[in-house]
Structures are given as structure tokens and as C-alpha cells.
Amino acid sequence: MDRKKNTTSPYPAEFRERAVQMVADHLDGYSTLTAAVRDIAQKLGCSADSLRVWYKKAQRDVGKEAGPTSAEKARIKELEREVRELRQANEILKTASAYFAPALTDASMCCRAAGRSSTAVPQMTVFIDDFREEFGVEPICRVLPIARDPSRASKRVRRDDALREKIRRVCSDNRGLYGARKVWHVLRREGVAQADGAPMTAVARCTVERLMREMGLQGVVRGKKVITTNPDAARPCPDDKVNRAFHADRPNQLWVSDFTYVPTWSGTVYVAFVIDVFARRIVGWRVSTSMTSQFVLDALEQALWQRKPIGNKSLIHHSDRGSQYLSIKYPERLADAEVDPSVGTVGDSYDNARAESVIGPFKTEVVKQLGPWKTMQAVEWETFHWADWYNQHRLLGSIGYIPPAEAERRHLEQPQPRDKAA
């Protein structure tokens, strides 16, 4: 019987840092550290013991508690690795010295005996075959290098070397303004030749993009106005499996995601939410100063950790066509968690109305009521409290004027009908 793979991942580093910062910023508001850790961990959906460990580690890193810091532990681990590699290199040199020149005991003479000439290559190959099980091929080649023969390079390698020089010249001639598309057109106009002098009828644009990426070359990009929903029609898009029917018969049947912005004195702050449609419960949220795909992915990770929908093949995740939700990482994470993605239609103000029904109260009850805002941390702290209050205490008329958490408890307490035998 196959064992199902656990698709949940460890807490993200950003989540741990955010939780620790909340404890540090608001510890004075609690009677003890234990009370602060328990309250904040419960609202974030993580273990209180884990949060305490993260906090203690952060305190050691800044020198407020005794013990080695994370940097010191990493340095010790790195030094231990270097010692192991040096000991292995020493053993390789001793073995090679006895293998190639028994009369020589000096390790430096061993490297000279191994040599880089073509006559030493067959002997080195035999040596690698004899000791590959003891030392490994890569460590032997690193300690006793063999010179590469340029004439034996592949046709693609020689072509790429020739193209790199031409790409670098084209970028330099055009003040570093051209991107891959225009560099590709210039090369086509000039009639690029092969490395052996034969004419190259066509240079693939993807080849130019790959080489420019490897060389660290990039053209200028026009500035764009910051907006919260940026549709990306070029990327593959899942079908709309909801079709405005935002209704669920049970928890973990339909999730909706969206994010909004909050103006602060230090710049624009973005707040993302993941909502369970059954009782409109907030199962994940995230505050950030940038609206990247990782920003909305953090909110999804919190939802997956709190709800743990492993094996629930009927869960649907719905969002708008924002580029953050259509990025490669987001659909891949949904697939790993066995969640079915759904995306609304373009130009439809009702394509994600259920998420807007939660973002609307957030703007009214938090953004406008408690503003103006100075920093992202202030928005994050109030969002933290509001999300917990919304789930545990806010009365929603759409579910009978009860809090979302109570609606889910009532559903779970009801006797569930058993599946009839076929």
C-alpha cells in the first residue's frame, strides 16, 4: 500500500521572522513571554514551542542571550567542512605521490608528476578509475586537475563563445540599452557566422536570451504604473471553475484569494488574503511592501499550514488574473498541495466578488478607521488583530449573524451523512 506523501513544507523563513518580530515589538503588552508566545502563535497558526525557539534564537543572534549565534554556528559548520576537504585533499596527494612517483615524497612534486600534458591524461584516467570509490571523481579532479583541450570542445560551446563576443559588442555599441529582442535583430541583420566560418542562416532568439542571462546583460525597461491586478494573458491560465457561484457546502471546498493596498507615510503597503468561502473565514494573510508572487505565496502557505487540506481532491482555489497568481511558483504550490486552481475572466468586476466582500470590511474597519498609517509594521500588527477578531468574533449576516469560526464548528458538530453503498 503506497504511503501518501506529506506535501506541507516547513514554515517559510519570512513567516518565522515576521512572528519573531511581532513577539519582540509587542512583548511589553503581555504579562510574560509565555503569554505573548502562546497568543501570537495561536493567531498565526503555528506551534507555540516553535515560536519560542525562533525567538530565543533571534535573541542570541543580537547578543541579548548567551549562546552561539546563527552566524557562529554556520561558520563552525563551514570550517568543519573545509577541514574535511583539506584532509581528503591531503590523502589524495599522498596516494597520488605513491602511485605516480614512489621515490618522491614531496606533495608538490606529486602535482608536477600528475602534470597537465597530454601524456599524463591516460595515467590520470587509470588513477581515477582505481580510486574513484575511495575519494570520488570530483575531489580527485579538483586536487589533481587535468587541462582541457580546446580542440575537443563541442560545436555548441564554440558557437556560444563566438556569439558571446558579438553580443557584448552589440550591447556596447548601443550604450547598453538593447535587450535580447533587439540584440537578436542586430545579429540577424549582420549575418552572424558559425565558429568555423560557415554562414549561420538563423540565430535562435532563445539562444541570445540564454547567453545574455549568463553574461548578466539586460536592456533598459520602461517604468510602469503600480497597480494591484496585472493580468498576464501570455501565461497559461486555468479555467474558471467557479463562474461566480461562490458557494460551498463545507469548509475546505472553495478558497478565494486577492490583495489590496494601504498607503503609508513610508510608501505603499500590500495586504493579501486567502478566504474559505463556506463561512468567509480568513485562513491566510500577508502584509508586504512589494506585490511579488512570493508575497501572495506566503499567504497561501499560511492557509495550507492552518487548514492542512492533504488528500482533499475537491478543494478549489479561485483568484483573479493577476500576474502574481499566474506565476510559475503559485500554480506549482497548488499542485503540490493537490488544490485545483481556478481563475476568473478578464474585465469582469464580479470574477472574485467573495474576496472583495472581505477586503471591503478590512478597508472600512482597519484602513480608514485606524489610519493614517506610518509604517508597514503598524499595518501588519492591526491586520493581525483584525483577522483574529474577524474569524472569532465578527458577526456576519450572510451566515446567520455568527462568527466564521462558530459557523465551522457547528458544521463539524453536525452528524455527517454516510456514503450509500453502490
- CATH number, domain containing residue 25: 1.10.10.10
Residue 191 CA to residue 185 CA, distance in Å, equals 10
Asked if the structure places residue 160 within a domain, the reply is: yes
Kindly state whether residues 338 and 373 are assigned to the same domain: yes
What local confidence, expressed as pLDDT, does residue 195 receive?
46
Residue 23 CA to residue 351 CA, distance in Å, equals 38
Asked if the structure places residue 7 within a domain, the reply is: no
Q: What is the 3-state secondary structure (H, E, C) of the chain?
A: CCCCCCCCCCCCHHHHHHHHHHHHHHHHHCCCHHHHHHHHHHHHCCCHHHHHHHHHHHHHHCCCCCCCCHHHHHHHHHHHHHHHHHHHHHHHHHHHHHHHCCCCCCHHHHHHHHCCCCCHHHHHHHHHHHHHHHHCHHHHHHHCCCCCCHHHCCHHHHHHHHHHHHHHHHHHHCCCCCCHHHHHHHHHHHCCECCCCCECCCCCHHHHHHHHHHHCCCCCCCCCCCCCCCECCCCCCCCCCCCCCCCCCCCCCEEEEEEEEEEECCEEEEEEEEEECCCCEEEEEEEECCCCHHHHHHHHHHHHHHHCCCCCCCCEEEECCEHHHHCCHHHHHHHHCCCEEEECCCCCCCCCHHHHHHHHHHHHHHHHHHCCECCHHHHHHHHHHHHHHHHHCCCEHHHCCECHHHHHHHHHHCCCCCCCCC
H or E stretch covering 341: strand 340-343
Asked if the structure places residue 46 within a domain, the reply is: yes
Asked if the structure places residue 225 within a domain, the reply is: no
What local confidence, expressed as pLDDT, does residue 273 receive?
94
Q: Which of 224, 228, 225 is CA-nearest to residue 352?
A: 228
Asked if the structure places residue 248 within a domain, the reply is: no
Q: What does the block give as the cell for 292?
A: 511579488
DSSP string of 373-398? Answer: B--HHHHHHHHHHHHHHHHHT--BGG
What local confidence, expressed as pLDDT, does residue 238 receive?
67
Dump pLDDT digits (tens) for 226-246. Answer: 445 555 555 567 666 777 777
Q: Which amino acid is at 4?
A: K
Q: Which of 317, 407, 325, 397 is CA-nearest to residue 361?
A: 397
Kindly state whether residues 283 and 386 are assigned to the same domain: yes
Asked if the structure places residue 1 within a domain, the reply is: no
What local confidence, expressed as pLDDT, does residue 114 receive?
46
Asked if the structure places residue 157 within a domain, the reply is: yes
375-387 burial, b if ≥16 CB within 10 A, otherwise e?
A: ebbbbbbbbbebb
Q: Which residues of the chain have pLDDT under 70?
A: 1-9, 101-121, 145-153, 175, 177, 192-202, 220-236, 238-240, 310-312, 345-352, 416-422
Number of domains the chain contains: 4
281-288, strands of its sheet edge to edge: 281-288, 267-276, 254-264, 316-319, 340-343
Kindly state whether residues 84 and 175 are assigned to the same domain: no
Kindly state whether residues 207 and 324 are assigned to the same domain: no
Kindly state whether residues 318 and 194 are assigned to the same domain: no
Kindly state whether residues 157 and 20 are assigned to the same domain: no
N-terminal to C-terminal alpha carbon distance within the chain: 24
Cα atoms found within 13 Å of the Cα of residue 258, Cβ hemisphere only: 24
At residue 280, the 3 state secondary structure works out as: coil
Q: Which amino acid is at 116?
A: R
pTM: 0.54
What local confidence, expressed as pLDDT, does residue 220 receive?
61
Asked if the structure places residue 222 within a domain, the reply is: no
Kindly state whether residues 265 and 134 are assigned to the same domain: no
Cβ atoms of residues 319 and 421 within 8 Å: no
Kindly state whether residues 52 and 86 are assigned to the same domain: no
Kindly state whether residues 61 and 185 are assigned to the same domain: no
Which residues neighbour 140 within 8 Å (Cβ) at sequence distance 6 or greater?
92, 127, 128, 131, 132
Q: Which residues pair with 150 in a beta bridge?
A: none
Instruction: Quote the domain boundaries for residue 21.
Output: 13-67
Kindly state whether residues 91 and 209 are assigned to the same domain: no
Kindly state whether residues 330 and 314 are assigned to the same domain: yes
360: domain CATH number? 3.30.420.10
Kindly state whether residues 284 and 363 are assigned to the same domain: yes
